Chains A and B, each alone.
Chain A
Amino acid sequence: MHTRRWSEGKAAVVAVVASATALLATYGVTLIMRNATFAMRMPEFLTSVQAEKVPPSTNAEYSQGRHLFLLNCAHCHGDDARGDEGPDLHDLHKSDVRIHQVITSGIKGEMPSFGKKFEESDIQALTAYLRTLRS
Protein backbone atom coordinates (compact mmCIF):
# COMPACT_ATOMS: atom_id res chain seq x y z
CA MET A 1 0.00 0.00 0.00
CA HIS A 2 2.99 2.32 0.37
CA THR A 3 3.58 2.55 -3.37
CA ARG A 4 1.04 3.75 -5.89
CA ARG A 5 -0.51 0.91 -7.81
CA TRP A 6 -2.64 2.78 -10.34
CA SER A 7 -2.12 5.97 -12.28
CA GLU A 8 -4.34 8.84 -11.04
CA GLY A 9 -6.21 9.16 -14.34
CA LYS A 10 -7.02 5.49 -14.60
CA ALA A 11 -8.07 5.43 -10.94
CA ALA A 12 -10.39 8.40 -11.57
CA VAL A 13 -12.18 6.50 -14.34
CA VAL A 14 -12.63 3.47 -12.07
CA ALA A 15 -13.83 5.77 -9.26
CA VAL A 16 -16.54 7.27 -11.49
CA VAL A 17 -17.64 3.79 -12.54
CA ALA A 18 -17.70 2.68 -8.87
CA SER A 19 -19.85 5.72 -7.94
CA ALA A 20 -22.33 5.04 -10.71
CA THR A 21 -22.44 1.34 -9.81
CA ALA A 22 -23.07 2.13 -6.13
CA LEU A 23 -25.93 4.48 -7.05
CA LEU A 24 -27.48 2.03 -9.51
CA ALA A 25 -27.14 -0.89 -7.09
CA THR A 26 -28.75 1.17 -4.33
CA TYR A 27 -31.58 2.16 -6.67
CA GLY A 28 -32.05 -1.48 -7.67
CA VAL A 29 -32.27 -2.63 -4.05
CA THR A 30 -34.66 0.23 -3.35
CA LEU A 31 -36.98 -0.84 -6.18
CA ILE A 32 -36.97 -4.44 -4.98
CA MET A 33 -37.67 -3.47 -1.38
CA ARG A 34 -40.34 -0.93 -2.35
CA ASN A 35 -42.19 -3.50 -4.47
CA ALA A 36 -41.96 -6.04 -1.65
CA THR A 37 -43.31 -3.51 0.86
CA PHE A 38 -46.06 -2.39 -1.53
CA ALA A 39 -47.18 -5.98 -2.14
CA MET A 40 -47.48 -6.54 1.59
CA ARG A 41 -49.57 -3.37 2.01
CA MET A 42 -51.76 -3.72 -1.11
CA PRO A 43 -55.10 -4.29 0.70
CA GLU A 44 -54.53 -1.23 2.89
CA PHE A 45 -53.61 0.85 -0.19
CA LEU A 46 -56.78 -0.15 -2.06
CA THR A 47 -58.96 0.79 0.91
CA SER A 48 -57.19 4.13 1.07
CA VAL A 49 -57.72 4.86 -2.64
CA GLN A 50 -61.40 3.92 -2.51
CA ALA A 51 -61.95 6.24 0.41
CA GLU A 52 -60.15 9.20 -1.21
CA LYS A 53 -62.29 12.34 -1.55
CA VAL A 54 -61.74 15.82 -2.86
CA PRO A 55 -60.92 18.37 -0.13
CA PRO A 56 -63.97 20.49 0.69
CA SER A 57 -62.31 23.90 0.59
CA THR A 58 -59.46 25.53 -1.29
CA ASN A 59 -58.96 28.79 0.59
CA ALA A 60 -55.54 30.31 1.36
CA GLU A 61 -55.28 28.82 4.84
CA TYR A 62 -56.09 25.37 3.50
CA SER A 63 -53.43 25.76 0.80
CA GLN A 64 -50.83 26.93 3.30
CA GLY A 65 -51.75 24.13 5.68
CA ARG A 66 -51.53 21.51 2.95
CA HIS A 67 -48.20 22.92 1.78
CA LEU A 68 -46.81 22.74 5.33
CA PHE A 69 -48.24 19.26 5.78
CA LEU A 70 -46.58 17.93 2.61
CA LEU A 71 -43.30 19.59 3.56
CA ASN A 72 -43.09 18.46 7.16
CA CYS A 73 -45.61 15.76 8.01
CA ALA A 74 -46.29 13.68 4.89
CA HIS A 75 -43.23 11.47 5.19
CA CYS A 76 -44.68 9.95 8.40
CA HIS A 77 -48.44 10.45 8.02
CA GLY A 78 -48.55 9.78 4.27
CA ASP A 79 -49.14 12.23 1.41
CA ASP A 80 -52.90 11.66 1.76
CA ALA A 81 -52.68 11.84 5.60
CA ARG A 82 -54.17 8.36 5.81
CA GLY A 83 -51.31 7.22 7.97
CA ASP A 84 -48.07 5.42 7.36
CA GLU A 85 -45.70 5.18 10.27
CA GLY A 86 -47.66 7.99 11.89
CA PRO A 87 -51.43 7.64 12.43
CA ASP A 88 -54.30 8.44 10.03
CA LEU A 89 -55.23 12.10 10.55
CA HIS A 90 -58.75 11.92 9.09
CA ASP A 91 -61.71 12.58 11.41
CA LEU A 92 -59.57 13.75 14.31
CA HIS A 93 -61.52 13.77 17.58
CA LYS A 94 -59.20 16.22 19.28
CA SER A 95 -59.65 19.88 20.16
CA ASP A 96 -57.72 22.61 18.35
CA VAL A 97 -55.84 23.23 21.60
CA ARG A 98 -54.73 19.59 21.75
CA ILE A 99 -53.68 19.59 18.09
CA HIS A 100 -51.72 22.79 18.73
CA GLN A 101 -50.07 21.18 21.74
CA VAL A 102 -49.07 18.02 19.83
CA ILE A 103 -47.63 20.03 16.94
CA THR A 104 -45.62 22.35 19.18
CA SER A 105 -44.47 19.82 21.79
CA GLY A 106 -44.53 16.55 19.86
CA ILE A 107 -45.08 13.16 21.48
CA LYS A 108 -42.12 11.73 23.34
CA GLY A 109 -40.61 8.79 21.47
CA GLU A 110 -43.16 9.05 18.66
CA MET A 111 -43.33 12.46 17.04
CA PRO A 112 -40.86 15.35 16.92
CA SER A 113 -41.81 18.80 18.20
CA PHE A 114 -42.32 21.62 15.71
CA GLY A 115 -42.69 24.43 18.22
CA LYS A 116 -39.49 26.18 17.22
CA LYS A 117 -40.11 25.68 13.53
CA PHE A 118 -43.70 26.80 13.06
CA GLU A 119 -45.16 30.19 13.78
CA GLU A 120 -48.65 30.56 15.23
CA SER A 121 -50.12 31.22 11.77
CA ASP A 122 -48.49 28.03 10.45
CA ILE A 123 -50.07 25.92 13.20
CA GLN A 124 -53.45 27.53 12.57
CA ALA A 125 -53.15 26.75 8.87
CA LEU A 126 -52.11 23.17 9.60
CA THR A 127 -55.01 22.74 12.01
CA ALA A 128 -57.40 24.18 9.41
CA TYR A 129 -56.08 21.72 6.87
CA LEU A 130 -56.41 18.79 9.29
CA ARG A 131 -60.02 19.80 9.99
CA THR A 132 -60.83 19.35 6.29
CA LEU A 133 -59.71 15.70 6.35
CA ARG A 134 -62.85 13.59 6.42
CA SER A 135 -63.30 9.92 5.54
Chain B
Amino acid sequence: MNSLFWSRLHGGATHFPIALIFAAAVFDTLSFVCRGSRRCRDFGVIGFWLVILGALGSFGAVFSGLALSKWQVGGTGQLLHHHLFVWPAFALIVGLATWRLLVGYHPARPAFRIYIGTILISCAVIGAAGFFGGELLLGQ
Protein backbone atom coordinates (compact mmCIF):
# COMPACT_ATOMS: atom_id res chain seq x y z
CA MET B 1 0.00 0.00 0.00
CA ASN B 2 1.54 3.31 -1.09
CA SER B 3 1.45 6.72 0.54
CA LEU B 4 -1.42 7.84 -1.66
CA PHE B 5 -3.63 5.11 -0.17
CA TRP B 6 -2.66 6.08 3.38
CA SER B 7 -2.95 9.75 2.51
CA ARG B 8 -6.55 9.28 1.37
CA LEU B 9 -7.41 6.98 4.26
CA HIS B 10 -5.87 9.39 6.77
CA GLY B 11 -7.65 12.34 5.22
CA GLY B 12 -10.97 10.51 5.50
CA ALA B 13 -10.37 8.97 8.92
CA THR B 14 -9.17 12.23 10.46
CA HIS B 15 -12.16 14.39 9.66
CA PHE B 16 -14.64 12.21 11.55
CA PRO B 17 -13.07 12.65 15.00
CA ILE B 18 -12.34 16.32 14.29
CA ALA B 19 -15.99 16.98 13.47
CA LEU B 20 -17.23 14.88 16.38
CA ILE B 21 -15.01 16.59 18.97
CA PHE B 22 -15.87 20.07 17.66
CA ALA B 23 -19.58 19.19 17.76
CA ALA B 24 -19.17 17.74 21.27
CA ALA B 25 -17.63 21.03 22.39
CA VAL B 26 -20.58 22.96 20.95
CA PHE B 27 -23.26 20.73 22.50
CA ASP B 28 -21.55 20.52 25.88
CA THR B 29 -21.11 24.30 25.95
CA LEU B 30 -24.81 24.73 25.12
CA SER B 31 -25.69 22.22 27.80
CA PHE B 32 -23.59 24.15 30.33
CA VAL B 33 -24.84 27.60 29.37
CA CYS B 34 -28.60 26.94 29.25
CA ARG B 35 -29.08 24.78 32.27
CA GLY B 36 -32.42 23.59 33.55
CA SER B 37 -34.54 22.80 30.54
CA ARG B 38 -35.02 19.32 29.16
CA ARG B 39 -33.47 20.34 25.85
CA CYS B 40 -30.29 21.45 27.59
CA ARG B 41 -30.05 18.12 29.35
CA ASP B 42 -30.39 16.45 25.94
CA PHE B 43 -27.47 18.57 24.70
CA GLY B 44 -25.38 17.03 27.48
CA VAL B 45 -26.31 13.52 26.34
CA ILE B 46 -25.42 14.38 22.74
CA GLY B 47 -22.09 15.86 23.86
CA PHE B 48 -21.38 12.72 25.85
CA TRP B 49 -21.80 10.39 22.88
CA LEU B 50 -20.02 12.70 20.45
CA VAL B 51 -16.86 12.85 22.56
CA ILE B 52 -16.88 9.07 23.06
CA LEU B 53 -17.27 8.43 19.32
CA GLY B 54 -14.67 11.11 18.55
CA ALA B 55 -12.16 9.43 20.85
CA LEU B 56 -12.79 6.03 19.25
CA GLY B 57 -12.38 7.58 15.81
CA SER B 58 -9.14 9.28 16.84
CA PHE B 59 -7.41 5.90 17.06
CA GLY B 60 -8.13 5.27 13.38
CA ALA B 61 -6.92 8.74 12.52
CA VAL B 62 -3.70 8.35 14.51
CA PHE B 63 -2.78 4.91 13.20
CA SER B 64 -3.53 5.75 9.56
CA GLY B 65 -1.38 8.86 10.01
CA LEU B 66 1.46 6.87 11.53
CA ALA B 67 1.32 4.43 8.61
CA LEU B 68 1.41 7.40 6.23
CA SER B 69 4.48 8.87 7.95
CA LYS B 70 6.23 5.48 7.96
CA TRP B 71 5.77 5.16 11.75
CA GLN B 72 7.55 8.37 12.67
CA VAL B 73 6.33 9.95 15.90
CA GLY B 74 8.36 13.10 15.21
CA GLY B 75 9.80 13.67 11.76
CA THR B 76 11.10 16.85 10.17
CA GLY B 77 9.62 20.08 8.83
CA GLN B 78 5.86 20.29 8.49
CA LEU B 79 5.50 16.69 9.65
CA LEU B 80 7.18 17.59 12.94
CA HIS B 81 4.93 20.65 13.34
CA HIS B 82 1.90 18.44 12.67
CA HIS B 83 3.02 15.86 15.23
CA LEU B 84 3.77 18.49 17.87
CA PHE B 85 0.04 19.23 17.94
CA VAL B 86 -1.28 15.75 17.15
CA TRP B 87 0.10 14.02 20.26
CA PRO B 88 -1.25 16.52 22.80
CA ALA B 89 -4.59 16.51 20.95
CA PHE B 90 -4.76 12.72 21.01
CA ALA B 91 -3.93 12.60 24.73
CA LEU B 92 -6.52 15.28 25.50
CA ILE B 93 -9.26 13.55 23.48
CA VAL B 94 -8.65 10.18 25.12
CA GLY B 95 -8.53 11.77 28.57
CA LEU B 96 -11.69 13.82 28.05
CA ALA B 97 -13.63 10.85 26.69
CA THR B 98 -12.48 8.61 29.53
CA TRP B 99 -13.50 11.20 32.12
CA ARG B 100 -16.85 11.75 30.49
CA LEU B 101 -17.49 8.03 30.21
CA LEU B 102 -16.88 7.64 33.92
CA VAL B 103 -18.88 10.60 35.22
CA GLY B 104 -21.87 10.18 32.88
CA TYR B 105 -24.11 12.61 31.04
CA HIS B 106 -24.35 15.41 33.59
CA PRO B 107 -21.27 16.01 35.75
CA ALA B 108 -21.19 18.53 38.60
CA ARG B 109 -20.97 22.10 37.27
CA PRO B 110 -17.54 23.10 38.64
CA ALA B 111 -15.96 20.00 37.10
CA PHE B 112 -18.01 20.41 33.92
CA ARG B 113 -16.67 23.98 33.61
CA ILE B 114 -13.10 22.66 33.63
CA TYR B 115 -14.12 19.95 31.16
CA ILE B 116 -15.54 22.51 28.74
CA GLY B 117 -12.44 24.68 29.06
CA THR B 118 -10.28 21.66 28.32
CA ILE B 119 -12.34 20.52 25.33
CA LEU B 120 -12.17 24.04 23.86
CA ILE B 121 -8.38 24.00 24.28
CA SER B 122 -8.41 20.57 22.62
CA CYS B 123 -10.33 22.02 19.68
CA ALA B 124 -7.64 24.68 19.26
CA VAL B 125 -4.87 22.06 19.39
CA ILE B 126 -6.78 19.83 16.94
CA GLY B 127 -7.22 22.82 14.65
CA ALA B 128 -3.48 23.51 14.69
CA ALA B 129 -2.72 19.83 14.00
CA GLY B 130 -5.23 19.90 11.15
CA PHE B 131 -3.69 23.07 9.72
CA PHE B 132 -0.19 21.58 9.56
CA GLY B 133 -1.63 18.29 8.30
CA GLY B 134 -3.31 20.16 5.48
CA GLU B 135 -0.06 21.99 4.71
CA LEU B 136 1.67 18.65 4.57
CA LEU B 137 -0.77 16.88 2.28
CA LEU B 138 -1.96 19.74 0.12
CA GLY B 139 1.22 21.81 0.05
CA GLN B 140 -0.69 25.07 0.11
> Residues of A at under 8 Å CB distance from B?
1-8, 10-12, 14-16, 18-20, 22-23, 26-27, 29-31, 33-34, 37, 70-72, 74-76, 79, 84-86, 106, 109-110, 112-117
Contacts of A19 in B (CB 8 A): 91-92, 94-95, 98
Interface of B is mostly: helix
Is the beta-carbon distance between A5 and B103 smaller than 8 angstroms? yes
> Chain B: how many interface residues by the 8 Å CB criterion?
42
- Stretch touching chain A among B17-25, B26-34, B62-70, B123-131: B62-70
Is the beta-carbon distance between A34 and B70 smaller than 8 angstroms? yes
Is the beta-carbon distance between A22 and B139 smaller than 8 angstroms? no
Return the CB mask of B97-140 against A: 1 if under 8 Å, else 0. 01100111111100100000000000000000000000111111
The one of A7, A37, A72, A114 that contacts B77, using a Cβ cutoff of 8 Å: A72
Contacts of A109 in B (CB 8 A): 4
